[in-house]
Amino acid sequence: MSEAQVKVLGARQEFAPLLAVDGVKVSYGAIQALKGVTLKVGKGEVVALIGANGAGKTSTLRAVSGMLKPVGGRISFAGEDTTGAKAHTLVPRGMAHAPEGRGIFPNLTVLENLELGAYLRSDADGIAADMEKSYALFPKLKERRKQFAGTLSGGEQQMLAIARALLSRPKLLLLDEPSLGLAPQVTETIFRNLKDVNAAGVSILLVEQNAHLALNFAHYGYVLETGEVVMAGPGKALLESPEIRKAYLGE
């Protein structure tokens, strides 16, 4: 229904389908946070979701990862209808969610946090190999593996959150504001690492306040406004659109 109002800029690069969100509605009691959100993420694609505070970005991710039950619409993931499926049934199917505000376990060590990331896996060798991979990706974490996660710096905590999400071997990584509260250089490091993650075949659905960063990084982007998608297009095309420049890049 809201499909008609979406302003689409430019053609989308072809990817095999992975996630399809179709007219999803989410309510918190009387508050309707999502009024019918439709978006897609392809295999190997990076998709950015941008929008103002309270637009419904976090709610969209939570509906996709099964932490919220939508009151309307359909979600399909990896060829299956997953509308209303619980998070613990989606993680084994390849969904990983690094929640807003990082959501690491502060009173556990870095290593214990990572072990919990592999919570649903039982292949000890595979876990050990993936653990090494995440240390290669974020060498800081290896140095700090015995340290309590709560005592890591903000940037290190974000790296841990991403590394931990990757330990479930996801097909799709949901990231909620990975740049939140981080210095530009740290953010840059994290996004460079995310590029490697994506190059290894992991699709990413990225929520960001930093529209410039997100749209530069993503193949495709959606703009969310008060619970609805109002604009979509390839990252670069959105970056060049005057509306976006005015509303989100402060020009």
Ligand X SMILES: Nc1ncnc2c1ncn2[C@@H]1O[C@H](COP(=O)(O)OP(=O)(O)OP(=O)(O)O)[C@@H](O)[C@H]1O
Question: Residue 141 and residue 168: Cα distance in Å, rounded?
Answer: 17
**33 and 26 Cβ atoms separated by less than 8 Å:** yes
Does 109 sit near another protein (CB under 8 A)? Answer: yes
Beta strands 172-176 and 72-77: pairing type?
unpaired
Does 85 sit near another protein (CB under 8 A)? Answer: no
Q: Up-side HSE of residue 71: CA atoms within 13 Å toward CB?
A: 12
| Helix count and strand count (H, E) for the chain | 10, 11
Does 154 sit near another protein (CB under 8 A)? Answer: no
Shortest distance (Å) from residue 52 CB to ligand X: 7
Does 60 sit near Mg ion (CB under 5 A)? Answer: no
Strand order in the sheet with 228-234: 7-8, 228-234, 220-225, 46-51, 203-208, 172-176, 95-98
**98 and 176 Cβ atoms separated by less than 8 Å:** yes
Pick the closer one to Mg ion by CB: 55 or 118: 55
Q: Which of 158, 170, 157 is nearest to 130 (CA)?
A: 170
Pick the closer one to Mg ion by CB: 36 or 51: 51
Task: Find which of ligand X, Mg ion, another protein, none residue 112 binds, CB within 5 to 8 Å per kind.
Answer: another protein
Does 6 sit near another protein (CB under 8 A)? Answer: no
Place of tokens 């990572």: 114
Pick the closer one to Mg ion by CB: 134 or 187: 187
Q: Which positions lie near ligand X, rule CB under 6 A?
A: 28, 31, 33, 51, 53-59, 100, 209
Does 246 sit near another protein (CB under 8 A)? Answer: no
Does 58 sit near Mg ion (CB under 5 A)? Answer: yes
Q: Which of 55, 58, 95, 103 is nearest to 75 (CA)?
A: 95
Residues 66-125 that bind Mg ion (CB under 5 A): 100
Pick the closer one to another protein by CB: 165 or 215: 165
Does 134 sit near another protein (CB under 8 A)? Answer: no
**34 and 54 Cβ atoms separated by less than 8 Å:** no
Does 94 sit near another protein (CB under 8 A)? Answer: no
Shortest distance (Å) from residue 119 CB to another protein: 5
Element (H, E) at 237: helix 235-240
Does 227 sit near another protein (CB under 8 A)? Answer: no
Q: What is the DSSP letter of 48?
A: E
Which residues sit opposite 35 in a β-bridge?
A: 25
Task: Find which of another protein, Mg ion, ligand X, none residue 33 binds, CB within 5 to 8 Å per kind.
Answer: ligand X
- Chain contacts with Mg ion (rule: CB under 5 A): 58, 100
Judged by the rule CB under 8 A, the positions of this chain that interact with another protein are 65, 67, 86-88, 90-92, 96-99, 103-109, 111-112, 116-117, 119-120, 146, 164-165, 168
